[in-house]
Amino acid sequence: MIVSSRAETTTARVAALRALMAEAGLDAVLVRSADRYLNEYVPPAESTRIWVTGFTGSMGDALVARDRAWVVVDGRYHLQADDETAGTPFEVEKVQHGAGLRKALWEVARRAVDGGARRLGYEPDRFVPKELEELKKALEGTGAELVPTLPSLVERARGPVDEPARPVRSLPEAAFGATVADKVARLRPALEKAGVTRFVCIKLDELAWLANLRGDDFPYQATFRATGLLGLDRVVLAADRARVPAHALTERGAALEVVARDAWTAALTPGERVGYDPDGTTAAVVDALRAAGCEPVAMPSPIEPARATKNEAELAAMRRAFAKADAVVEAAQGFVHDRLARGERVTEADLADEVERLFLAAGATGLSFKVIAAAGENGAFIHYGPPSAERAIRAGELVLLDTGGYWPEGYATDLTRTFLAGAQAEPSPAQQRMFTLVLKAAIAGMSARLPEGARGDQLDALCRAPLWAHGLDFAHGTGHGVGVNVHEFPPRVSPQANVKLEVGHVFSIEPGLYVAGTGGVRIENLVTVVPAPGHPGFLDIEPLTTSALDERLFDHELLTDAERAWLARYEGLRAARLAGA
């Protein structure tokens, strides 16, 4: 009955969208999973894709034509998309990896055009210019016309939604290690080199970093709604001024000017050359620059690499947050062990709820992503979720727990531990082997020494080598940057990561093994890059998280002397954390 009702709702929404398409003379409409800020995590109520398709995964795009409709998803969401779109007009287009999502969407668009669609509507506030160029190339020679719709037809069909209006959070600028004025001065040479007087920014993590402000407008972020203009001498922030504390504006002085959210173009002068990131700015923003009489200039974001390199104050704040997150994850494992020891039933959902409770009790402002709590065979799903209220955790099985939170400084934490459920449980040799092989890969990453200039793909290969030696691998990247957002790029550690790793970068090392029908193991720690002591020209990877590893799962015969020595040093770091050092 629930599925039927959900399918009926989606079908009615598609019909409402098609009516607006007919009114606008459109044959098809493309619907993206992102929002106008290009957020990774979009509140469900604000997602045009979720509203029209009923598919609730974090990534996936859609195309609605007059007689057919598709939703495009990667391997994380094949089963979920099938379930959530059953009985609706949507066909599920499946790709294996996220990198192929856009290409698959362009292929679906081409399919619609081959079926007779000629006028395709798109949301210009959810497409970046680079994507539009790709789409135009994919449709080249077909005679198809791309038509911008602003606001999107889905928003018109849905109607307005309430946006939260929580206060913007501020700490003294000393907590960030650099004032807004310092950051403007640091970034000015990049603007001058590009021959621009401003750089427009819509990525909210970059704006939060630039303005030394934090917010709670979105789930799993520490950001607030705004558009920014980085200038040669100040930052113009288009936000709700009433939500920004007066003391924050006083402290930041002339370096930060706040204007109304819809007034950012009024701060521009006709004829100005204004920079924008073609990979990180929407087509709607570029159109707004032209409408204001400015010359848009494509350039790399100068903010992105600057905020990726953490200063000492930022690293200190992150270490404090990571230590609290380590304690939360250890307490969550104890919760499972205690419940099982008392003979009580504990489910994946119980564990996820307890994790959130522990974070909030430890002073966190919220989670940095949805809790992944996967028991037994469910651990084989790389991005498993949501945790089941029906799946009980059984003593002796592996549990994969991936979670993170935010504290007031607004830096995300991210940690994965795979542990054996039940304090008295004994692991099987197969469980030990699987865990230890992943542990060896994690140690390879966290103990790596690299020459200056080394890239993320080189570190990725070092991490995979212990698994490759056994003919094994994992189908995801080894690591991602962490900062104001839980996923921050650069840095990146993957086979495709060609950007250099630099001192002060903070990122994850998270190798894994996943066996369908059996389960999975992932071990994730956050690390940074430091100069290698006594070795000029080389860099060391240094762990920043020290949450306990389940030693019952160690196969000591698989560990080398060097790996045992590293584990002893790691345990020393954990002991120092517990002692409050």
The predicted-structure confidence for 140-183, as pLDDT tens digits, reads as follows: 999 999 999 999 999 999 999 998 888 999 999 999 999 999 99
pLDDT attached to residue 78: 85
pLDDT of residue 100: 83
169-307 CATH fold? Creatine Amidinohydrolase; Chain A, domain 1 (3.40.350)
CB 181 within 8 A of CB 253: yes
Q: What angle do CA 402, 404, 408 make, to 5 degrees?
A: 175
Q: What is the mean pLDDT of residues 418-438?
A: 98
Q: Computed from CA positions of residues 167, 256, 212, 286, in that sequence, does the dihedral angle turn out positive or negative?
A: positive
Q: Does domain 312-578 have CATH number 3.90.230.10?
A: yes
pLDDT tens-digit map of 353-380: 999 999 999 999 999 999 999 999 999 9
pLDDT of residue 1: 36
Question: pLDDT tens digits for 313-354?
Answer: 999 999 999 999 999 999 999 999 999 999 999 999 999 999
Model confidence at 3, pLDDT cuts 50, 70, 90, reads very low
pLDDT, position 220: 94
User: Maximum CA pair distance of the chain?
Assistant: 73
Cα 20 from chain centre:
33
Average pLDDT in the 382-394 region? 93
Confidence of residue 80 (pLDDT cuts 50, 70, 90): confident
pLDDT tens-digit map of 188-200: 999 999 999 999 9
Q: CATH: 3.90.190.10, 3.30.1330.30, 3.40.350.10, 3.40.630.30. Which one for 2-158?
A: 3.40.350.10
- The torsion of the CA quartet 266, 268, 271, 273, rounded to 10 degrees, works out to -140
For 2, 10, 60, 61, 121, the CA distances from 158, given in Å and listed in that order, are 21, 12, 19, 17, 17
Q: What is the mean pLDDT of the chain?
A: 95
Give residue 4's pLDDT band: very low, low, confident or very high (50, 70, 90): low
- Residue 475: pLDDT band with limits 50, 70, 90: confident
Min mean pLDDT across 433-437, 495-499, 529-533, 577-581 is at 577-581
Q: How many other C-beta atoms lie within 10 A of the C-beta of residue 96? A: 11
CB 32 within 8 A of CB 49: yes
Q: Quick one: pLDDT at residue 58?
A: 84
Tokens of 117: 């669609």
Domain range list for the chain: 2-158, 169-307, 312-578
CB crowding 405-430: b at 16 or more within 10 Å, else e: bbbbbbbbbbbbbbbbbbeebebeee
Please indicate whether the domains covering 2-158 and 312-578 agree at the CATH topology level: no
**Cross-strand partners of 200:** 229
So what's the pLDDT on residue 96?
78
- In sequence order, the β-bridge partners of residue 120 are 28, 146
pLDDT tops 60 at residue 98 = no
pLDDT at 2: 46
Residue 76: pLDDT band with limits 50, 70, 90: confident
Band (13; pLDDT cuts 50, 70, 90)? very high
Q: Kindly tell me if the per-residue pLDDT of 97 is higher than 90.
A: no
Is residue 427's pLDDT more than 80? yes
Torsion of CA 249, 255, 261, 267, to 10 degrees: 140
The helix (run of H) or strand (run of E) holding residue 28 is strand 28-31
**Residue 349 burial (CB < 10 Å; 0-12/13-18/19+)?**
middle
Q: Where are the beta strands (DSSP E) in 361-414?
A: 366-367, 372-375, 398-403, 405-406
Write down the pTM of the prediction. 0.93
Express as a percent the part of the chain with pLDDT over 90.
93
Read off φ and ψ for residue 498, nearest 5 degrees.
Answer: -105, 15
| The predicted structure's pLDDT at residue 84 | 94
Please say if the pLDDT value at position 383 is more than 90: no
